[in-house]
Amino acid sequence: MTGNEACSEGALIAGVRFFAGYPITPSSEIAEELAAALPRLGGKFIQMEDEIGAMGAVIGASLAGAKAMTATSGPGFSLKQENIGYACMAEIPCVIVNVQRGGPSTGLPTLPQQSDVMQARWGTHGDHPIIVLCPSSVRETLDLTVRAFNLTEKYRIPVILLLDEIVGHISEKVTLPDPSEIEIYDRPAPTARPEEYLPYRYTDDDIPEMATFGTGYRFHVTGLCHDETGFPTNDSAQIDKGLRRLNRKVERYRDDIVEVERLELDDAEVVLFAYGSTARSARRAMNLARDKGIRAGLMRPRTLWPFPDRELRELGPQVRSVVVPELNLGQMAHEVEWALAGRAEVTHINRIDGEPISPTTILEAIQEVVQSWT
């Protein structure tokens, strides 16, 4: 199956029962698959009039108790940002899939880039919590789609699944997991009675209980700063307390959220930091470099945000250089440089013409870096 088909399969395994979206290359297959599958499972599929409406419908469905998602690409992702911010402020679980293509604007509808990395973190305004996952294979797309739903339901933080066109459209042989062996997290029902329920109550774990509309619980939902009741407030103490709790969730549960694959790092002198489809080329380049006697390793983040800065800082003292190949002009490389703070030299490999970065290109960069040491 393709990555887009695996995303749809993972969503169904996770229990998605609502999809709202608008067709856009290269993500349309996700909508097509779910349009056929959801009605058979008692779920709902709605093709909305635009991307803004699609995100709004997902928010409404989640408030009504459904596991809900949408899928889009660059231009549609831009249009969704206002309502993504609303979901962040109101702490509404939802999954947004962005199958990246070339930009800016209409850009390259059928060709890949990885240029929405910063937008995924900071696309909506204000300090806000967000989780961004990034698969590099078809099977991993299925697995991380399930994980996206588990994380959003557990922490009440919107989760973005950031594919790129290559991962979305590549076709690979996949062994589907036994659904009974997959951990699925469903949001718990509130323990408070309806008359005692506070939708944004301050709790020891910073995660307020979420009631479902239509089950006897009546509460206010707004994108404005609000107190525990959900109603807007101009009380500066309440505003500060609420926004700090909102953002604290990401840092407090960071170690449960962040996942990184580490390959050949124990003795590595040069480390590749790569994600998405580019990590596939990086892995091959690492093996080629090892064949030539170069001690190369690979760090591949499955979670892009929160950024795995601690994991980078834990690289061994023998690491002299970090090479960051990516299909943009250095969005993740900037974060790598910040995290390393001069501990190792950082080399960029950037491509934005709609073509992938080959293992040979990465290997040549590795060799140039090693030669510069002498």
Q: Residue 142 carries which side chain, given as an amino acid letter?
A: L
Q: Would you state the structure tokens that stand for residue 86, as one six-digit string?
A: 């609303």
* Pairwise CA distance, residues 273 & 312, whole Å: 9
| pLDDT tops 90 at residue 371 | yes
- pLDDT tens digits along 83-140: 999 999 999 999 999 999 999 999 999 999 999 999 999 999 999 999 999 999 999 9
| pLDDT tops 90 at residue 164 | yes
| pLDDT tops 90 at residue 23 | yes
Q: Would you state the structure tokens that stand for residue 295, as one six-digit string?
A: 């001690």
| Helix intervals (H) in 216-327 | 236-252, 254-257, 278-291, 309-313
Phi/psi at 38 (5° precision): -60, -45
- pLDDT tens digits along 211-242: 999 999 999 999 999 999 999 999 999 999 99
- pLDDT tens digits along 239-248: 999 999 999 9
**What pLDDT is attached to residue 237?**
97
| pLDDT tops 90 at residue 180 | no
Peptide bond into 23 cis (omega under 30): no
Q: Residue 310 carries which side chain, given as an amino acid letter?
A: R
Give me the residues paired with residue 98 across strands. Answer: 72, 162
Q: Can you list the domains of the chain with their CATH numbers? A: 3-181 (3.40.50.970), 194-255 (no CATH), 261-372 (3.40.50.920)
Residue 40 CB-density burial (10 A; 0-12 exposed, 13-18 middle, 19+ buried): exposed
Quickly count: other Cβ atoms within 10 Å of residue 345's Cβ: 16
- pLDDT tens digits along 312-339: 999 999 999 999 999 999 999 999 999 9
* Pairwise CA distance, residues 259 & 246, whole Å: 22
**What pLDDT is attached to residue 116?**
98
Q: Residue 319 carries which side chain, given as an amino acid letter?
A: V
* Average pLDDT along the chain: 97
The length of the chain, given as a count of residues: 374
* Pairwise CA distance, residues 65 & 88, whole Å: 17
Give residue for tokens 């795995």: 308
| pLDDT tops 90 at residue 374 | no
Strands (E), the chain: 18-21, 44-47, 68-72, 95-100, 131-133, 159-164, 260-263, 270-273, 296-301, 303-305, 321-326, 345-350
**What pLDDT is attached to residue 296?**
98
Between 180 and 283, residue with greater pLDDT: 283
**What pLDDT is attached to residue 71?**
98
* Pairwise CA distance, residues 272 & 147, whole Å: 25
**% of the chain at pLDDT higher than 90:** 99
* Rounded average pLDDT over 143-172: 98
**What pLDDT is attached to residue 179?**
83
